[in-house]
Amino acid sequence: MNIIFTAAECAPFAKTGGLGDVAAALPKALKKLGHNVKVVIPRYYKIDKNSLEHIPGELIVPMGSLGTLKAGVFKSKIPNSDVEIYFIDYEDFFGRNGLYTDESGYSYQDNDIRFAFLSVATFELCKMLGFNPDIFHANDWHTAAVPVLLKTRYKEFNAKSVLTIHNLQHQGLFDKRVMDILQIPWNHFNPYELEALGGVNLLKGGITFADAITTVSKKYALEIQTPEFGFGLEGHIRAHSYKLYGILNGVDYDEWNPACDKYIAKNYDIGWMEGKKECKKELLEKFGLCGEEKALIGFVGRFAWQKGIELIAQAMEGLLHLDANYVFLGTGEKWAEGFFSDIAGRYPNFRVYVGFSNELAHKIEAGADMFLMPSIFEPCGLNQIYSLRYGTPPIVRATGGLDDTVENYDPFLKKGTGFKFWEASRDALYNTVKWAVDVFYNDKEGFKNIVNEGMRKRFSWERAAKEYLKVYERVLND
């Protein structure tokens, strides 16, 4: 099968979250299964041109009312694979530090144009390369125009499209000027296809026109059809649920594996766990914390409402009085960066690193005793899966992928892989952390079982890629 995978990010070249991980790992897994897959992303300023191969010539990108623009194209391979990745180079749109926002966290005002450009360029790139995809695989609102274009302006490709929703909160809601830029016929500007609140909702358009829609866990596929998680699109998604599939993300175990992780103090695995103690020691030292026997709870993630940071802030006073140390890593909402930094300055058992550090993320997964992930919603979530592999039982709210991947501890059977709570409240979070800390100190056999059971679990990309292939085959046979 020929597949073109188009996204706003792809690790390690450009990544702000799980989308970047998926855009690298899924194409790699599809390639291993024998398919011809190419990836397209923008050439952001931070991706060094000198590390890429320049494709001679210019890519002509017709942008409707904006005229015809000319872009450069660069090429590379996704590390440890044969998957070709193409970078669309256009200084005015992508020559900036941020992917979506400026330094203050405000979305760029021309994000509609920037990603409409990427969507149109995806088709033009295929023409330039003489590549005839069977499947256009689009991701999130950034490239949600691709399924729309495939059924309107680029019908000649005679291919099928799949749209994956990694996060429904961000939908690409813009002024209707984007219709003329994308040159989508205006008869599609109606509440059943692309229109929302007087503007254009790109994700809604993608949902309407894609031959199949997928989300990144089975639970999230159900949740997005409800008002609590649908962000206003629940009705539209219900109307298209006949083509909706939930496929849990996998994990790149080459990258996230305590037995061979190059970032951690000492490697370890089931049966030879001594290294984990060294990792904890190093983490404590790094953050100036005391107490090698004390429970150490880690957090890695965006400081965003989605990740439950308000709940943590509300429960903070109680958490600080538990017999536990905390290490947080994240960036995002300014209030949270300030709040956590302030707490770190005032309490001896709480530390935070405000910033993005892949190395530190690995060290926390390995060095912590437990991992906190109290998300309000979580389409899939990767960190809790990493923490299972690192023997760092996750404490999670039972939503989306968190619910699908973590089994709540049963103290009678002494089975489970983590600790769960359901209600998005301060008390539920606090009580669950308290329970986990209690098990850590007072139910050592149970805690060991949780660690071992979690470490044995595997969430492979091969399994996920096979499920995606079934979806591709289904739409191709329709």
CB of 451 to ligand ADP, least distance (A): 20
Residue 298 in the binding site for ligand ADP (CB under 6 A) = no
CB within 8 Å of 155: residues ≥ 6 apart: none
Residue 169 in the binding site for ligand ADP (CB under 6 A) = no
CB of 329 to ligand ADP, least distance (A): 5
What single-letter DSSP state applies at residue 423?
S
Residue 425 in the binding site for ligand ADP (CB under 6 A) = no
Question: Do 216 and 380 contact (CB within 8 A), yes or no?
Answer: yes
Residue 302 in the binding site for ligand ADP (CB under 6 A) = yes
Nearer to ligand ADP, 89 or 365 (CB): 365
Residue (of 66, 84, 114, 115) closest to 13 by Cα position: 84
CB of 229 to ligand ADP, least distance (A): 14
The C-alpha atoms of residue 110 and residue 188 are separated, in whole angstroms, by 22
Residue 17 in the binding site for ligand ADP (CB under 6 A) = yes
User: Strands 199-201, 173-174: parallel, antiparallel or unpaired by DSSP?
Assistant: antiparallel
Residue 358 in the binding site for ligand ADP (CB under 6 A) = yes
Tokens, residue 223: 């949740």
Residue 261 in the binding site for ligand ADP (CB under 6 A) = no
Question: Do 415 and 449 contact (CB within 8 A), yes or no?
Answer: yes
Nearer to ligand ADP, 178 or 370 (CB): 370
In terms of C-beta density within 10 A (0-12 exposed, 13-18 middle, 19 or more buried), how is residue 51 classed?
A: exposed
Residue 361 in the binding site for ligand ADP (CB under 6 A) = yes
Tokens, residue 154: 């680029």
Question: Do 215 and 249 contact (CB within 8 A), yes or no?
Answer: no
Nearer to ligand ADP, 188 or 420 (CB): 420
CB of 381 to ligand ADP, least distance (A): 4
Only segment of 114-122, 258-266, 312-320, 355-363 that touches ligand ADP (CB under 6 A): 355-363
Residue 72 in the binding site for ligand ADP (CB under 6 A) = no
Amino acid at 185: P
Burial profile 117-147: b = 16 or more Cβ within 10 angstroms, e = fewer = bbbbbbbbbbebbeeebbbbbbbbbbbbbbb
Residue 230 in the binding site for ligand ADP (CB under 6 A) = no
Residue 308 in the binding site for ligand ADP (CB under 6 A) = no
In terms of C-beta density within 10 A (0-12 exposed, 13-18 middle, 19 or more buried), how is residue 87 classed?
A: buried
Q: Of the candidates 106, 272, 335, 356, which one interacts with ligand ADP according to CB under 6 A?
A: 356
CB of 17 to ligand ADP, least distance (A): 3
Only segment of 148-156, 231-239, 273-281, 295-303 that touches ligand ADP (CB under 6 A): 295-303
Residue 381 in the binding site for ligand ADP (CB under 6 A) = yes
Residue 111 in the binding site for ligand ADP (CB under 6 A) = no
* Strands (DSSP E) found in 240-284: 244-246
> What would the DSSP string read from start to end of 127-141?
HHHT---SEEEEETG
Residues that bind ligand ADP (CB under 6 A): 17-18, 21, 300-302, 329-331, 356-358, 361, 380-383
